Structure 1
Amino acid sequence: MAQRLPDTATAPPTTLRAVLFDMDGTLVETEEYWGEAMFELADRLGGRMSAEARAQTVGSTMRRSMQVLHADLGVTRTEDQLQADARWVEDRTAQLMGAGISWQPGARDLLVAVRAAGPATALVTTTPRRLAEIVLGSIRADLGADPFDLTICGDEVPARKPDPAPYLQAMAELGVDPAESVVIEDSVAGIASGLAAGAAVLGVPALQEVAPAPGLVLREGLLGVGVAELEQVLAAARLGRRPA
């Protein structure tokens, strides 16, 4: 999965001014909670969710996730039932999150390093605010401070990932240009969102296959990634997007 960074010696000059982090599966190990909740819902509905269907829901909206789950089980649900199922999954995930949050390997060190180096930081997640605050509370308690200049949640944007709206909104509020920004994501939807917003993207997928794309650098995880590596990701993206 790890991708070798190209030689950036001939890349145009770049300045890393902002790093925008996804949350679930990227910074913290919470995707397992969402999965557990959906598997439990499937059981409540009298079926069993397949691993393939679960993978399709990673980084997706709750509505889309419920549609995937219902189709996988072969059940038909009314709009009210779909919304009730989504709320049940959110409530159950909140309960699981309350038991404790773990960092993804290397994520804590990277976040601390970025904060110390000076670029603006943002958390941009599809998760609704009420659940994101559980994670943010754990992060703040661990670090002793809020490491983000800005947090944007899934219920605070006009459109959700893979639409570029969340990242465009974050960069606009931070006052930075996409050409100066690196997005860090683990899902197909999140990576597509970051790329469509014009940012360089460091992809660290675990549950989904991600195809190479201009502006995207893929790694197996965040261990060993520091600010210098993010600057390389930015330079490589600019190099790859220059006109011939």
Structure 2
Amino acid sequence: MSGTPRGSGGLRAVLFDMDGTLVETEQYWGEAMFELAASLGGRMSAEARAATVGSSMRRSMGILHADLGLVRSEEQLRADAAWVEDRTAQLLASGISWSPGARELLVAVREAGLRTALVTTTPRRLADIVLTTVRGDLGDDPFDVTVCGDEVPARKPDPAPYLQAMAALGVEAQECVVIEDSDAGVTAGLAAGAAVLGVPTVQEIPPAAGLVLRDGLVEVDVAALAAVLSEGSSTGVWA
């Protein structure tokens, strides 16, 4: 294992969530679910939509169906999930924007010599649409490792995706900062043993030990991430 990059304290790797954290694509999932709800004869509540953020597709469909008061068979659930994924893929293809501050942070992390991973619950086929845009914008691949929702034994809030990414990066949990916008993602990062920077958007994230909360990624730099790693050993606070 090589030396710690200069100016980063003990920080060796940064693990990014995708939807709502790195890129502003969370609204596409919401739009697809609202459209599905309408096709099923109902209207998904804002509260139910917020509860789906960061969740697996199966759990999201369960939340949607319960919100509409529907009982769906396993076959129907799978069909609904496939429809949402296909519709989201169409929306992603129409254009993808960075979350404020995310591009600048990712570039700074790479320039500092830190290891990087993208860890998302999104299936590979959809994540690749985002990654193609990100790579095209930056001119190279900014991630040493990418872990998608259909490539892990368990999805967030289980720590498995982050543990898999850390193993592939060759780093220890105490050398990592995870950046997440959802409660499920934060829970997964903390359970994996990493310090977590939470940047909630649609969904509220409760304070927790090991968690630092901010309003967004604007003006977050490598020094700020090193501070998150340090602060992560104490009770979660708003920075």
Query: With structure 1 as the length reference, what TM-score do the two structures score?
Result: 0.92
Task: Please give the residue correspondences for 1:198-217 in structure 2 after superposition, counting only pairs within 5 Å.
Answer: 198-217=193-212
Task: Please give the residue correspondences for 1:127-138 in structure 2 after superposition, counting only pairs within 5 Å.
Answer: 127-138=122-133
Structure 1 gaps of 5+ residues are 1-12
CA distance in 2, matches of 1:238, 1:217: 10
Aligned pair 1:159/2:154, yes or no? yes
Task: Please give the residue correspondences for 1:149-228 in structure 2 after superposition, counting only pairs within 5 Å.
Answer: 149-228=144-223
Q: Which residue is 2:64 aligned to? A: 69
Fraction of identical pairs, as percent: 74
In the alignment, residue 15 of structure 1 is paired with which amino acid? G
Higher RCO (C-alpha 8 Å, min separation 6): 1
Q: Which residue is 1:36 aligned to? A: 31
Q: Is the 8 A contact 1:21 1:183 kept in 2?
A: yes
Structure 2 gaps of 5+ residues are 1-7
Q: Give 1:238 shift.
A: 3.0
The one-character-per-residue Cα deviations of 1:5-52 (angstroms, maximum 9, x if unpaired) are: xxxxxxxx9511000000000000000000000000000000000000
Q: Which residue is 2:46 aligned to? A: 51
For the residue of structure 2 that corresponds to 1:49, the secondary structure is coil
**CA RMSD of the aligned region, Å?**
1.2
> Which range is displaced more, 22-31 or 230-239?
230-239
Q: Is the 8 A contact 2:209 2:234 kept in 1?
A: no
Aligned pair 1:143/2:158, yes or no? no
Q: Give 1:211 shift.
A: 1.1
Q: Give 1:240 shift.
A: 5.2
For the residue of structure 2 that corresponds to 1:238, the secondary structure is coil
Aligned pair 1:109/2:92, yes or no? no
Q: Is the 8 A contact 1:121 1:150 kept in 2?
A: yes
In the alignment, residue 43 of structure 1 is paired with which amino acid? A
Q: Which residue is 1:10 aligned to? A: none
The one-character-per-residue Cα deviations of 1:52-86 (angstroms, maximum 9, x if unpaired) are: 00000000000000000000001111000000000
CA distance in 2, matches of 1:238, 1:214: 7
Instruction: Give the total of aligned pairs.
Output: 229
Q: Is the 8 A contact 2:210 2:233 kept in 1?
A: yes
